[in-house]
Amino acid sequence: MDQVLLYSSSLIAILAFFIGLYACGRVAKINLATKDLDWVAVANMTGDLATTKKTIQTLNNRINGMHSPKIAEQELLMQLMQNQQQKPNGKLMGG
């Protein structure tokens, strides 16, 4: 029983060591990639992302608007139909 605990704890320790090495490698890779990044570049990227997001939202609103009827247009059509029904056409019927 003691040997099982010894081997399992050794295996977990070795596994933790390799996971720590992997994490250090990822951190070093991120540090290397962002080495030349300054606050001006971050501000520019943030502005570009905001502009892109606004453009995408506007495009989506336009696309969604193409598929749904406009309420104002429907109201105008209903008023036009009601006005046509109320006005006589000037023709006399009968004899």
Domain tally for the chain? 1
Query: Rounded CA gap, 45 and 55, in Å?
Result: 15
Tell me whether residue 23 is in a domain: no
Which residue range forms the structural domain that includes residue 58? 38-83
Tell me whether residue 88 is in a domain: no
Tally the C-alpha atoms within 13 A of residue 31's C-alpha that lie toward its C-beta: 6
Tell me whether residue 16 is in a domain: no
* Cα separation of the two ends of the chain: 117
Tell me whether residue 65 is in a domain: yes
Tell me whether residue 5 is in a domain: no
Whether the full predicted model's pTM is greater than 0.95, yes or no, is: no
Tell me whether residue 49 is in a domain: yes
Phi-psi region of 94 (alpha: psi -120 to 50; beta: other; left: phi over 0): left
**For the segment 12-42, what is each residue's pLDDT rounded down to a tens digit?**
999 999 999 999 999 999 999 988 888 888 8
Higher pLDDT, 72 or 76: 76
Tell me whether residue 70 is in a domain: yes
Tell me whether residue 68 is in a domain: yes
